[in-house]
Amino acid sequence: QTCPAGGEEVTSQVGEILGVEIEGALSQYARVRCGGTFSERKQDANYQGIQTCQAAHLIGGAGLACFYGCFGFGDCKDACPFDAIYMEEGLPRIDVVNCTGCGNCVTACPRDLISLAPIDDDQDHFVSCSNLDRGKEARRVCKKACIGCGLCVKVCPYDAVEMENNLAKIDHRNCQECGLCATKCPTDAIIDLGAYQNWKKIKKPKEPTSPTTIS
């Protein structure tokens, strides 16, 4: 009953044409569940193959040490018809001004690192990691990995954080955005989206980086 590409205005117009009232809903934006840049994630081998995430995934990871992490070749960027994704230090960044929540980037990512979720002023904290390995191995492959230490769970006064398969998970139904989880996280795997990226008006760099090889 909504039109992601057209946004709220088009959705309202569709409702008028159909003669129905479409209740407003929070806009959906893409979130990337990986926070390890080129300098923060480990390479076990130098990949010289086809420079796409799909190709790298098909041959078992293209030398990327993290089995769960972003390859950084930008398949998601290429799939976006709204110029809402740019690459920076090997990670996709989302321009929420242009993002319509169409979901093309979600489909394009071979490692399922991108999801759509409502973003508003009350849901700013986010676990930017997908690594399910235990702490020592997770830390070995990425400086920004969630190591499953559980500090976020212990400090949360609202029981809004839990550990699931060695990975922190925030329940936004209970989360009051106090920020203690992000403050205490030893690897900065939990980020404040409001501080990390201005979700109301984000400015893209003049020359976004898009390396041709991972080394």
pTM score: 0.79
Query: What is the model's pLDDT at position 3?
Result: 58
Query: What is the model's pLDDT at position 192?
Result: 83
Query: What is the model's pLDDT at position 206?
Result: 46
Residue 2 domain flag: no
Residue 35 domain flag: yes
Query: What CA–CA distance (Å, rounded) separates 25 from 160?
Result: 23
Both structure tokens of 38: 């080129």
* Same domain flag for 53 and 83: yes
Query: What is the model's pLDDT at position 118?
Result: 78
Residue 16 domain flag: no
Residue 212 domain flag: no
Q: Residue 156: which domain range?
A: 123-195
Query: What is the model's pLDDT at position 124?
Result: 78
- State residue 81 phi and psi, 5-degree precision: -85, 0
* Same domain flag for 131 and 114: no
Which of 99, 119, 139 is the endpoint of a domain? 119
Both structure tokens of 187: 């690897």
Query: pLDDT of the chain along its 215 residues, tens only?
Result: 455 555 566 666 666 676 666 555 567 889 999 999 999 999 999 999 999 999 999 998 989 999 999 999 999 999 999 999 999 999 999 988 899 999 999 999 999 999 998 766 556 788 999 999 999 999 999 999 999 999 999 999 999 999 999 999 999 889 998 999 999 999 999 998 765 554 444 444 444 444 444 44
Query: What CA–CA distance (Å, rounded) separates 198 from 18?
Result: 36
- State residue 94 phi and psi, 5-degree precision: -100, 125
Number of domains in the chain: 2
* Same domain flag for 129 and 183: yes
Domain CATH number, residue 159:
3.30.70.20
Which of 119, 145, 162 is the endpoint of a domain? 119
Query: What CA–CA distance (Å, rounded) separates 66 from 45?
Result: 12
Query: What is the model's pLDDT at position 209?
Result: 45
